[in-house]
Every structure is written in C-alpha cells, then in structure tokens.
Amino acid sequence: MSASSRSAFRVAVLCLSSGAVLGACSKAPEEPEFDHGLKKPLVRKLREELAESPCDKAKAQQLGQLLLDTGDLKGLTRVTDTFGEKCGPNVVLLQLAYTANARAGEKELALKAATALTTAQPDNASYHVWRGLSLEALGRTEETAAALQKAFDLQPGQRPILNSLVKTYDSLGKSCEALAAYQRFVESAKPSEAKSAEVQAQLQERAAKTSCPAQEPAQPEAAAKP
C-alpha cells in the first residue's frame, strides 16, 4: 500500500472509530497532488504567475506543455478550461488538451477540445478531422461523416481526408456519397494523385456498382445588369 493510500485509510478508520463531531469527517480526503518530478518547481512558479496574470497566453501555454510532458492530464484540462473561461479559447492549449485526451482514451474530453477548436477556427480542416476522429471513437458515425465532410469541403484534394470520409460513408452504406467524394477528389487533387491507378480503379469500380441520381449542374451566375 502506498503512503498516500495508508494516510487515507488512517483517516477513514479515525472517522469511524473516534466518535468525531458530526460532519467533521464527511469530506473525502483530497486527491494527492500530481508528481511533476523535476519539473515541479517550474510548474508551481507558472501557476503562481498565472494566478496574478490569468490571461498571460505565453505562460499558460508553457504550463500546458509542461503538464502534457509530465503526464498530468487532469491538470492540463483544468488549465485549458480555466483559461478559456476567463480569457477566451487558446488554440495552443486546446491542441495540447486534444492530444493528451486522445492519447489517454478520454473520448469525451478529446471531443470537447476538438469541438472548441472547430469553433475557434472553423476554416481549419485538420480540426474538423480531429473532431471526426473523436466522434468515431464514441461510435457516433453519422456525426463522424458530417465532421469529415466539412474537412473534405475545406480541402477536397487531400487524400487522407478522402480515405477517412469514404470509409465512414461505406460503413453507413452511403455509396453515392462515397462516389461523389471520389469524383470531387479527382477534380481537386494534383494530377499525379487524381490520375493514380488506385484512385482511378476505385472510381471506376464504385461507378460501375452504384446507381446514383444525376447531380444537377451548377447554375450560371446571372449576368450583371448594365
């Protein structure tokens, strides 16, 4: 049994056996402070400085990176949330929070960070991909497709986004949407990628197996009045 566990056990025994005043032992023992090892003095210093200047982005980001490096996931999440509540979203902190929570399998917290990133920077395709991956981890496939489609709309020439989107559409049985994604990729990607044997084979195979309604042609813009 660790020292902290023995301490908590002694407190529990004391509360049960000492006849303490009602309420004196009702509060659970506080969670032990995270051990930041050699980084502990710097973590303490940054926390004290942020208590004085809570919206100092540079110090908040430095602290966030330290907490990520030392594995203090809860501490990093608290710093990110506190900064966001007091000072508005900090993209670097949100990136760190997403990375830490995704690695740790904290799916809801990873989704929370990714969603905040898409809100802060809606034109960043990578953040929509992160959100899609977080939704996929939670089994929310329809929402995964919507997030990845948004990323693909922003960067339709990116093969990794295409692959993730098509995989999701295939899992949903949406063959027409998957075919449309391939067709758009061919129109948007670099010629070397669009004309690759693999892409062309997938496009032809899907077109041969899929019967989809014809897409309406884009309407020409109205001529400007003189």
Per the domain annotation, does 53 fall within a domain? Answer: yes
Confidence of residue 211 (pLDDT cuts 50, 70, 90): confident
Confidence of residue 11 (pLDDT cuts 50, 70, 90): very low
> Is 50 exceeded by the pLDDT of residue 206?
yes
Per the domain annotation, does 67 fall within a domain? Answer: yes
- The number of distinct structural domains making up the chain is 1
Averaged pLDDT of the chain: 85
Confidence of residue 213 (pLDDT cuts 50, 70, 90): confident
Per the domain annotation, does 148 fall within a domain? Answer: no
pLDDT digits (tens, 9 = 90+) for 102-156: 999 999 999 999 999 999 999 999 999 999 999 999 999 999 999 999 999 999 9
Tokens coding 169: 């559409």
The two counts, helices (H) then strands (E), for the chain are 12, 0
Confidence of residue 210 (pLDDT cuts 50, 70, 90): confident
Per the domain annotation, does 76 fall within a domain? Answer: yes
pLDDT given for residue 19 in this prediction: 44
Share of the chain above pLDDT 70, in %: 80
Determine which helix (DSSP H) or strand (DSSP E) holds 7, and give its type and residue range: helix 3-17
Per the domain annotation, does 87 fall within a domain? Answer: yes
- The pLDDT of 189-203, averaged and rounded, is 92
Confidence of residue 212 (pLDDT cuts 50, 70, 90): confident
pLDDT given for residue 21 in this prediction: 44
Helix, strand, coil shares of the chain, percent, nearest 5, are 70, 0, 30
- The pLDDT of 83-101, averaged and rounded, is 95
Per the domain annotation, does 69 fall within a domain? Answer: yes
Measured distance CA(184)–CA(57) in Å, rounded: 40
Three-state SS annotation for 69-117:
HHCCHHHHHHHHHHHHHHHCCCHHHHHHHHHHHHHHCCHHHHHHHHHHH
pLDDT given for residue 28 in this prediction: 46
Measured distance CA(34)–CA(100) in Å, rounded: 16
Tokens coding 144: 């995964």
What pTM, to 2 d.p., does this model score? 0.78
Please give the residue range of the domain that contains residue 82.
38-104
The amino acid that residue 117 corresponds to is L
Per the domain annotation, does 29 fall within a domain? Answer: no
Per the domain annotation, does 211 fall within a domain? Answer: no
pLDDT digits (tens, 9 = 90+) for 41-68: 999 999 999 999 999 999 999 999 999 9
pLDDT given for residue 22 in this prediction: 42
Q: How is residue 213 annotated by DSSP?
A: P
Higher-pLDDT residue of 160, 226: 160
